[in-house]
Structure 1
Amino acid sequence: MQAHTSSYYADSVNDQQQYPVLQGEHQCDVCVVGAGFSGLSSALHLAEQGYNVIVLESARVGFGATGRNGGQIVNSYSRDVDTIRQRYDSATADQLCAMIFEGGDIIRERIQRYDIQCAHVEGGVFAALNAKQMAELEAQKRNWEALGNNQLELLDRNGIRAAVGADCYLGGLLDRRGGHLHPLNLALGEARAVVLNGGQIFEQSAVTRIDKGAQPVVHTAQGQVRARQVILAGNAYLDPKLAPSLGRKAFPCGTQVIATEPLPQDLADELLPQNYCVEDCNYLLDYYRLTEDRRLLFGGGVVYGAREPESVEALIRPKMEKVFPMLAGVGIDYAWTGNFLLTYSRMPQFGRIDDNLYYLQGYSGHGVTCTHLAGRLVAEAIGGKPERFDAFASLRHLAFPGGRHLQVPFTALGAAYYNLRDKLAL
């Protein structure tokens, strides 16, 4: 039986609900494999529309990246407007760009509609470490405003200092349509909403195989589900044997997070006076925020291939203390790692393996918001309106060079190159 990884989130859940193990034979309209944000968003959108939905989770609701991430609502994808418009034809680019704020809007709507208690706070800051990054934020503001986001504010050195108690930033961009929350509590609230709308969730029910056909049959150790449609939403935690072709164009990476002991109110106010979340603009970025009980939750770095580092604290504490020297020696109560799925293009991968077998994966570090968009789009496609889903499904995704055995060294080499460019402000 798999429990949640030891983390601040797992120790501060406000819902201890456990769902049964799948046993026996079941039938439904749509079977969703994975109870993270992708699966829960898909299931909830479909259940609200009257579909009979069953969700199968190999461990616990929110076990994977959903329950381990930094908890930041960051708009857009891992590639933003400028890259999208350069890379894709104008019609496709227009469709993709029109959706870049929708994931965050869905999250806020879910929180309000279902009264989900997940410590939601509005406002997120992108922090620039040099003039090149500041110029990129200025362009980002223009691009996002052209797409309808009128809640943006450029911050000069004084402005960023008023938002972040650190001396390392030149300026920044405040997005009031961003924000932060407790992601595991959000997921648990969404799971309750799925059930409220007639859906079923089964935990500790790992899928062992899928028999394809007009009505696919999804098997677990103790049961099976016959469905009209199946959605693979396991992302970095999906069993590779269920869809081997998906692993060739994406691979799992680990990111690390620490949470300090609860901080005195005056120190918490010094670090983040306006309680915004922050991420810097480096390729291998740092991100941080305050929790509801005044811990600093700080993440960063990437371990390629999703290997467990010997010490998460040893990797992340120096980053935290570089930004906030006043935290030198502060107690670290939690340290954990979680996997996300990286794609070569850094764009999410949505598509179909068969007409009735959908997949959602590869958010490349932007999963909190984009997963919620993904669930809406796949529900639209199943409901007979595939146009927006197909805007993503039409994207070409290249395999990583060198095959699976060379994915890790090649990607690490590329990351080292971009990290050097960050340091040299190139």
Structure 2
Amino acid sequence: MANTLYPESYYAASANAVPPRPALQDDVETDVCVIGAGYTGLSSALFLLENGFRVTVLEAAKVGFGASGRNGGQIVNSYSRDIDVIERSVGPKQAQLLGQMAFEGGRIIRERVAKYNIQCDLKDGGVFAALTAKQMVHLESQKRLWERFGHTQLELLDQRRIREVVACDQYVGGMLDMSGGHIHPLNLALGEAAAVESLGGTIYEQSPAVRIERGANPVVHTPQGKVRAKFIIVAGNAYLGNLVPELAAKSMPCGTQVITTEPLGDEQAKALLPQDYCVEDCNYLLDYYRLTGDKRLIFGGGVVYGARDPANIEAIIRPKMLKAFPQLKDVKIDYAWTGNFLLTLSRLPQVGRLGDNIYYSQGCSGHGVTYTHLAGKVLAEALRGQAERFDAFADLPHYPFPGGQLLRTPFAALGAWYYGLRDKFGM
């Protein structure tokens, strides 16, 4: 059986040491079988274990192999489509409940880090950077919107103030969210996995789910074993493949690219980001960056629709980094990698139930770090019979991509081209 290793990323190279985990080679019984050991699966498993369920987690590769161990590491609140968009789509009552949850994921991350002593370089503070006056007006509106839902840790930054937090002369202003922040994402996943095991949960690596036998007592089959369960949680996201065809039809894997510099040293790092906040700009096809615990700059951006791996990631992302920070022109790039996230047509997560006992959450559309931690709590509540918050997500309308799986990639790329032009010309 193939042994799938982590991609050659900065995160894998700097990951905390963990014990080896076996592949499933037997038949086991459990209350809940979780498919996927990324944030959604690990968060679900933790909440379920804390409430007395027996939990078995199946991971096709290694804990945090997918987006959970490859992302930009930024704690960003709300969803990929904000609460006002949701409100126009589903009305004020459902939007109110979803709005109340929009800032919960970051709190869950901090609670997990504190409770289980997870070493993941957690830092507070995230900046949304405006490149145009129009984007600044949007941030002013966003601040009012978020404050309407009780989120008050926000500060608008004028041009002078944003220069105090990021050494980039492109920005006309921004917004600081002190409940945002950043982490080493793979170490967060590894710490959550250790917490799962400390509570009696079992994680099998190199154990892909190849078939789900549906029914009153569902069974998940792997190449060398199977898990009989009362409930199944499907948490594979962009790495699920076609295991559940009805989920694949309404989503599309997309790739994003990340580079990491050599260590910059304390003085240069502090000159770039004096308060050590993470930053993302306000473009539709946005760039994002932050410092690591050992003073490297992580810089990401770009989207490859259909999740192909570009031949030269550095050639795509380095020019973006130098546009923001020309002072880094002589700095070496030590790592470059790509990772997939799952896009939905609405840009909102898809949550639901298949039959009576198969639950799923997928399609974070680029806002996964915080949402997935919330999703785990919401799924666990539903399995305990408390479904109000689950239903608020499950009732969101979702549609297949135009043209089906054959044409979804070119249609999405065409839409991104259009919005990219709007970003370029400040429309």
Relative to the length of structure 2, the TM-score reads 0.99
The corresponding residue for 1:209 is 211
Instruction: Quote the offset at 1:86 in angstroms.
Output: 1.4
CA contact (8 A) 1:343 1:362 kept: yes
| Counterpart for residue 164 of structure 1 | 166
Match of 1:83 in 2: 85
Q: Does 1:243 align with 2:254?
A: no
The count of residues paired between Structure 1 and Structure 2 equals 425
Corresponding residue of 1:122: 124
1:55 counterpart = 2:57: yes
Contact 2:59–2:204 (CA under 8 A) maintained in structure 1: yes
8 A contact 2:60–2:206 mirrored in 1 = yes
Return the alpha-carbon distance in structure 1 between the equivalents of residues 71 and 319 of structure 2: 19
Per the alignment, residue 153 of structure 2 pairs with 151
What is the SS of the residue equivalent to 2:317? Answer: helix
State the Cα deviation string for residues 240-272 of structure 1 (Å, max 9, x = none): 1x2101111110000000000000221111110
Distance 1:167 1:225 in 2: 55
Mapping of residues 367-382 of structure 1, within 5 Å = 367-382=368-383
Q: 1:353 is aligned with what amino acid?
A: L
C-alpha distance in structure 2 between counterparts of 1:247 and 1:224, whole Å: 23
Q: Which residue of 2 aligns with 1:337?
A: 338
Q: Quick one: distance in 2 between partners of 1:132 and 1:354?
A: 46
In 1, the alpha carbon distance for the partners of 2:400 and 2:300 equals 28
- Of residues 404-413 and 79-88 in structure 1, the stretch that sits farther from structure 2 once superposed is 79-88
Residues 274-313 of structure 1 correspond to what in structure 2 (within 5 A)?
A: 274-313=275-314
Give the Å deviation of 1:90.
Answer: 1.4
Preserved CA contact (<8 Å) 2:39 2:372: yes
2:38·2:67 contact (CA, 8 Å) conserved in 1? yes
Structure 1 partner of 2:253: 252
The CA deviation at 1:381 is: 0.2
What SS is found at the alignment partner of 1:98?
Answer: helix
SS, match of residue 176 in structure 1: strand
Confirm or deny: 8 A CA contact 1:251 1:342 kept in the other structure: yes
Point out 4+ residue stretches in structure 1 off by more than 4 angstroms: none
Please give the alpha-carbon distance, in whole angstroms, between the structure 2 residues aligned to 1:198 and 1:386. Answer: 25
How far 1:423 moved relative to its partner?
1.5
Aligned to 1:107: 109
Helix, strand or coil: the match of 1:370?
helix
State which of 61, 67, 70 in structure 2 corresponds to 1:68.
Answer: 70
| 1:259 alignment partner, SS class | strand
Structure 2 residue 9 is the aligned partner of structure 1 residue 19: no
Q: How far apart are 1:161 and its partner, in Å?
A: 0.3
What amino acid is aligned across from residue 266 of structure 1 in structure 2? E
| Alignment counterpart, residue 187 of structure 1, candidates 172, 186, 189 | 189
Find the residue that maps to 1:376 and give its secondary structure. helix
Question: 1:14 Cα deviation (Å)?
Answer: 1.2
State the alpha-carbon separation in 2 of the partners of residues 226 and 269 from structure 1.
53
Offset from partner CA, 1:382-409 (integer Å, 9 cap, x none):
0000110111111110111111111111
- Structure 2 equivalent of residue 263 of structure 1: 264
AA paired with 1:350?
V
Deviation at 1:16, TM superposition (A): 2.5
Partner residue of 2:48?
Answer: 46
CA contact (8 A) 2:60 2:209 kept: yes
CA distance in 2, matches of 1:362, 1:220: 24
Shift of 1:287: 0.1
Kept in 1, the 8 Å contact 2:241–2:248? The answer is: no
Distance 1:126 1:207 in 2: 39
Residue 199 of structure 2 corresponds to residue 228 of structure 1? no
Secondary structure at 2:32 match in 1: strand
- Helix, strand or coil at the partner of 1:178: strand
Can you list the C-alpha shifts for 1:45-73, whole angstroms capped at 9, x where unaligned?
00111100000001000000000000000
CA distance in 2, matches of 1:51, 1:15: 28
> Deviation digits for residues 77-113 of structure 1, max 9, x if unmatched?
0011221121212111111111000000100000000
- Alignment-mate amino acid for residue 345 of structure 1: S
Q: Quick check: 1:36–1:233 contact (8 Å CA) kept in 2?
A: yes
How big is each residue's C-alpha offset from its partner over 1:303-333, in whole Å with a ceiling of 9 and x where there is no partner? Answer: 0000010101000000000000001131000
1:318 aligns to 2:319 (yes or no): yes
Is 1:349 aligned with 2:350? yes
| Alpha carbons 1:15, 1:185 under 8 Å: kept | no
Unpaired segments ≥5 residues, structure 2: none
Residue 29 of structure 1 deviates from its aligned partner by: 0.4
Give distance in 1, aligned partners of 2:178 and 2:150. 13
The equivalent residue for 1:399 is 400
Write the deviation string for residues 200-238 of structure 1: whole angstroms up to 9, x where unpaired.
Answer: 100000111111111101111111110000011000001
Tell me the alpha carbon deviations over residues 264-315 of structure 1, each in whole angstroms, 9 at most, x when there is no partner.
2211111101100000000000000000000000000000000010101000
Residue 328 of structure 1 corresponds to which residue in structure 2? 329
Residue 353 (structure 1) shift: 1.4
Q: RMSD between aligned alpha carbons?
A: 0.7
Partner residue, 1:423? 424
